[in-house]
Amino acid sequence: MTLDFDKMKERLDALLDAQRHGQMRGALMMINEVDIAEYMQTLDREKLLTVFRILPKDISSDVFSYMDNDQRQLLIECIGDAEIAKLVDDMFIDDAVDFLEELPAGVVKRVLQNTDVKRRNLINQFLRYPENSAGSIMTIEYCEFRQGITVAQVMSEIKRTGIDKETIYTLYIIDDQRHLVGTVPLRRVIMAEDDILIDDLMETNVIAVSTMDDQETVADTVRKYDFLSMPVVDKEHRLVGIITADDVMDVIEEENTEDFEKMAALMPSDKVYLKTSPFRLAISRIPWLLILMVSAMFTGALITHFEGLLSSSAIGIILTSCIPMMMDTGGNCGSQASTLAIRGMALGQIEFRDLPRVLWKEFRVSLLVGFILALVNFGRLMLFGGANMTTKVAFVVSLSMFLTVMFAKVIGASLPMLAKKVKLDPALMASPLITTIVDACSLTILFNISAKLLTF
C-alpha cells in the first residue's frame, strides 16, 4: 500500500502542534524510517529536534541514516554529547562513515570525541581508505564463521548476534588466518541438518573485490553476478568487510548521475540542485562551455574560409540554408552512436578489443541510415527547393548528407572506446563534444564536395 505523504504530514503536524508527544511517538512507530526522514525534511530547527527526541531509540539511528546531510549536521549541532555517542554507536559502520565524510572537520572532531574508543578507531580506519574505493563503502557488520563448525552452532550464533548485523543472507567462511575460503546462502543452512559441517555447504568459488578497487568496479561485479552483498578482502585475501546491495545502489546512482552530468557538459557535483548556489552551478558549467565555445570557432573558421563559395551565386544561398540541417543531422547521428557505445561499456557488453566489430556494425548501420536520409533529403530539395534548385545541387547536398552520417556514426562509436583505453571517462565523449567535432567535419564534407562538383 502506497503511503499518502500529504495526509501523513498533516496528521503528524497536528499532533506536533498540539504537543501530543505520546500519540506522535505511537504514530511514528507505525511509519517506515525512510518516510519519517522525509517528513523531518519539512521541519524547522526546533521541531526537527523535538521529533528526533520523540523517536524510539531503537529506530532513531536508522532514521538518522536516511536524513540528508544538512539536517544531520543541524541535529549534531543541537543535541548533547551523550546523544551523539549513542547515535553513532547505534549506526552501522558504513552509514556512520558516509555521514562523517560529508561533515565539516570541526563537527567530525566533536562526533569522534564522543564516540566509543573502539568504534572511533574503526571509523578512522575506514576514513583512511581512498574516496570512492571499496574500502570506503564497506561495512563490518556481517556474519562470518570459521571452518569446522556445525549448522547448529551457526544457527545459534546467528540468533545471538544477527540483530546487530547489517545482513545475514550470506554467511562468510574464513580459516584461522582470516582468509576467505567460502560463502554459504542462509537458506542452505536453514534447510540442512544440525550436525552437518558448514564446510560441506559452502561454495568455494568465491568472488570478491579488494579494498582498493574502485566502487564502480564493485557495482559492475554485483550487477553481473546478482549478489546481495559483496565480500571485500585485503591484498592477502583476508576478509575485512562486505558491501551490501543498498550501498551498491547508491554507487550506481552516483555513477549514473556523474556520467549524465559529463554527457551534458557539466562538471560532476554531489550537491542537491535546489541546495546548490547559483555561483556553484555556474562554476560547474563554465569550463566545458568555454571549451565547446572555443572548439566551435573552427566551425566559424570553415564558413569564413568558404565564404566565396557561399556568396558567389544563388546556389551558395541554397548551400547556406543546408548548413543547419547538415550539422544537426551529423550531431544527432554521432550522439546516437556514442550513447549506445557508452551504455555498452557501462554494462560490460563492450570492451576495447571489440572496437573493430563495433566499427563494422556502425558502418553498416550508417549505410542504411545515410541512404534513407539522403534519399528523403534529395526528394525534399527537388520538391521544395525553389526555382534555383537543380538535380546536381540536390545530389551534392544529399551525397554530403550520406557521407556525414557515415562519418558521424563511426566517430560517435569509436571516441568513447578510445577515451576509455587512455583512462579517460567515456562520458566525456558524449553529446556536446561529439556534436562539436561532427559539426566541423560535416561542413568540411559539404563545402569540399560542393567546390569540386558544382560549377558557379
pLDDT digits (tens, 9 = 90+) for 292-351: 677 667 777 777 777 766 666 667 777 788 888 888 888 888 888 888 888 888 777 888
3-state DSSP call for residue 117?
A: helix
Between 205 and 456, where is the model more confident? 205
Distance CA 265, CA 261 (A): 6
Q: Please, what CATH class does the domain formed by 143-248 belong to?
A: alpha beta
How large is the average pLDDT for residues 260-277? 62
Answer yes or no: are the C-beta atoms of 352 and 420 closer than 8 Å.
yes
Lowest mean pLDDT among 52-56, 162-166, 327-331, 429-433: 429-433
Find cell 517528513 and name the residue. Answer: 39
More confident residue, 75 or 169: 169
Name which residue leads in pLDDT, 290 or 326: 326
| Reported confidence tier of residue 267, pLDDT bands at 50, 70, 90 | low
Greater confidence (19 vs 124) lies with: 19
Query: Which distant-in-sequence residues (6+ apart) come within 8 Å of 326 by Cβ?
Result: 397, 400, 401, 404, 442, 443, 446
Query: All 3 cell numbers of residue 403?
Result: 557521407
Instruction: Give the pLDDT mean for 263-275.
Output: 60
What pLDDT, on the 0 to 100 scale, is given for residue 208? 93
Compute how many other C-beta atoms are within 10 angstroms of the C-beta atom of residue 196. 14
> What is the structure's pLDDT at 209?
92
Average pLDDT, the chain: 83
**Which contiguous run of DSSP H or E holds residue 181?**
strand 180-185
Q: What are the extents of the domains in the chain?
A: 5-133, 143-248, 273-453
C-alpha cell at 19: 504537543
Q: How far is CA 26 from CA 12, 16, 56, 66, in A?
A: 11, 12, 9, 20
- Residue percentage of the chain with pLDDT more than 90: 22
| Superfamily of domain 5-133, CATH level 4 | MgtE N-terminal domain-like (1.25.60.10)
SS3 132: coil
| 206 closest CA partner among 217, 221, 194 | 221
Whether the predicted pLDDT of 41 surpasses 70: yes
> Predicted confidence band at 455 (pLDDT cuts at 50, 70, 90)?
low
263: pLDDT strictly greater than 70 = no
Could you tell me the three cell numbers for 18?
A: 498540539
Residue 428 has pLDDT above 80, yes or no: no
Q: Is the pLDDT of residue 415 over 70?
A: yes
434: exposed, middle or buried (Cβ count in 10 Å: 0-12, 13-18, 19+): buried
110-128 b/e with 16+ CB inside 10 Å = b?
bbbebbeeebbebbeebee
What DSSP assignment string belongs to 360-400?
HHHHHHHHHHHHHHHHHHHHHHHHHS-TT--HHHHHHHHHH
CATH 1.10.10.2160 is held by the domain 273-453: no
pLDDT at residue 309 in the model? 67
Residue with cell 526537527: 48
